[in-house]
Amino acid sequence: MKAAVLEQFGQPLVVQEVPDPVAGGGEVLVEVLATCVLPYAADVFGGVRRYPLETPVVPGLGGVGRVLALGPDATRLRVGDLVWCDPTVRSRDDARTPDITLQGWSSRGEGGLALSRHFHDGSFAERMVVPTENVEPLGDLDADQVVRWAALAVPLVPYGGLLAVGLEAGETLLVSGATGNFGSAAVAVGLAMGAARVVAVGRNTEVLAGLERRFGPRCRSVALTGDAEADTTAMRTATGGGADVVLDLMPPEVGADVVRRAVMSVRPRGRVVLMGGVGMLGGDDLALPYPWIMRNDITVCGQWMGPRTANGRMIALARAGLLDLAHEDVTRFALDAVNDAVAHAAAHGGPFVRTIITPQSAA
């Protein structure tokens, strides 16, 4: 089959013929129909993000596919089903603290790296092999939807965090880092989950204004000025006195002090979830006052990707139109144009802009 191979960090991907992947037990063979290229893919492939990805590798973070073959551990799926392929692969021998690899993308720790040697190649290919539990049926979709739904990878990230802190309908959510690809998706997901208000926090006033226009009065924005006190006051006011939930998605280049201010805009008994890249490339730790956490019963938690059940639920939200994929701005590329796709994604990382590779289409 044809696949895009990262032979070395810093080099362009090479589209080439590779051996057809073969699904073993506990695995499903999928024809890849559409896969999303994240805006920071160029940083990953360039080595800037220092991801523990071992080359050569076919990268690519999940996507929409069609089942070609499956094993006896699947009782509902059928060959030919249209499916979502979740890239979050968990080792099966520890229910409490599984090792995790993002197939074709990254991994956590020694165990995750070991796991990534088997579940190695991702979705920038005509076919891929996925663990059975990572395959989620999509039901019928038309050709246009198949392409759009490949972008589910993006909202699934904040959804995992909002599930972790149990955002409930009627609550107020503050999204710190709302102008990026994941952050803007967090705004959409929060509203889909029934948040009464989502406060979008970031620096780009134009993008923030766009979010308010897109989502109407349930979305309010706060433009960060860098003045700590003013920013804190603005967040407190916009949340009506303190958010129920704060979700941080700030990128690696932002300092922990910016996160701290967002965290501390949460109300007493509020919950904070950290999902960003802050500190990943160095910088200060996140410092918070112990007495503030203690006296106010604050919860701060981290979340890396989401639970397995998030896939089906997110698909239901999208099918119901609560999460609106129809109005996203999608540009598609053939597999042969993978490097163009990566460059395009890097240049178009704004809210609801998606770059999709469709490996089955002609160049």
The answer to whether the beta carbons of residues 357 and 334 sit under 8 Å apart is yes
275 binds a second copy (CB under 8 A): yes
Nearer to a second copy, 143 or 301 (CB): 301
* Residue choice 143, 230, 280, 347 for contact with a second copy (CB under 8 A): 280
Stretch that binds a second copy, among 9-17, 179-187, 203-211, 319-327 (CB under 8 A): 319-327
326 binds a second copy (CB under 8 A): no
| CA distance linking residue 275 with residue 113, whole number of Å | 21
321 binds a second copy (CB under 8 A): yes
13: region left, alpha or beta (phi > 0 left; psi from -120 to 50 alpha): beta
Q: Minimal distance in Å, beta carbon 13 to a second copy?
A: 25
135 binds a second copy (CB under 8 A): yes
The structure tokens 């198949």 sit at 146
89 to 19, 36, 131, 229, 239: CA distances (angstroms): 22, 18, 7, 42, 36
363 binds a second copy (CB under 8 A): no
52 binds a second copy (CB under 8 A): no
| CA distance linking residue 174 with residue 167, whole number of Å | 11
Amino acid at 133: E
286 binds a second copy (CB under 8 A): yes
For the segment 67-106, give every residue that binds a second copy (CB under 8 A).
Answer: 70-77, 91-97, 99
Stretch that binds a second copy, among 44-52, 188-196, 224-232, 339-347 (CB under 8 A): 188-196
The answer to whether the beta carbons of residues 137 and 281 sit under 8 Å apart is no
CA torsion sign, 258 to 190 to 82 to 336? negative
Closest of 103, 190, 199, 207 to residue 155, by C-alpha: 190
Q: Minimal distance in Å, beta carbon 307 to a second copy?
A: 8
Q: Beta strand pairing status for 106-107 and 27-37?
A: unpaired
26 binds a second copy (CB under 8 A): yes
* Residue choice 111, 223, 337, 348 for contact with a second copy (CB under 8 A): 111
Q: Minimal distance in Å, beta carbon 353 to a second copy?
A: 24
143 binds a second copy (CB under 8 A): no
212 binds a second copy (CB under 8 A): no
Enumerate residues 6+ apart whose C-beta is below 8 A from 295.
none
Give the total of residues touching a second copy (CB under 8 A): 92
> Which residues on adjacent β-strands are paired with residue 16?
3
Q: Minimal distance in Å, beta carbon 137 to a second copy?
A: 8
Nearer to a second copy, 17 or 76 (CB): 76
> Which residues on adjacent β-strands are paired with residue 136?
84
Nearer to a second copy, 47 or 137 (CB): 137
261 binds a second copy (CB under 8 A): no
Q: Minimal distance in Å, beta carbon 281 to a second copy?
A: 9
The answer to whether the beta carbons of residues 259 and 246 sit under 8 Å apart is no
Q: Minimal distance in Å, beta carbon 216 to a second copy?
A: 9
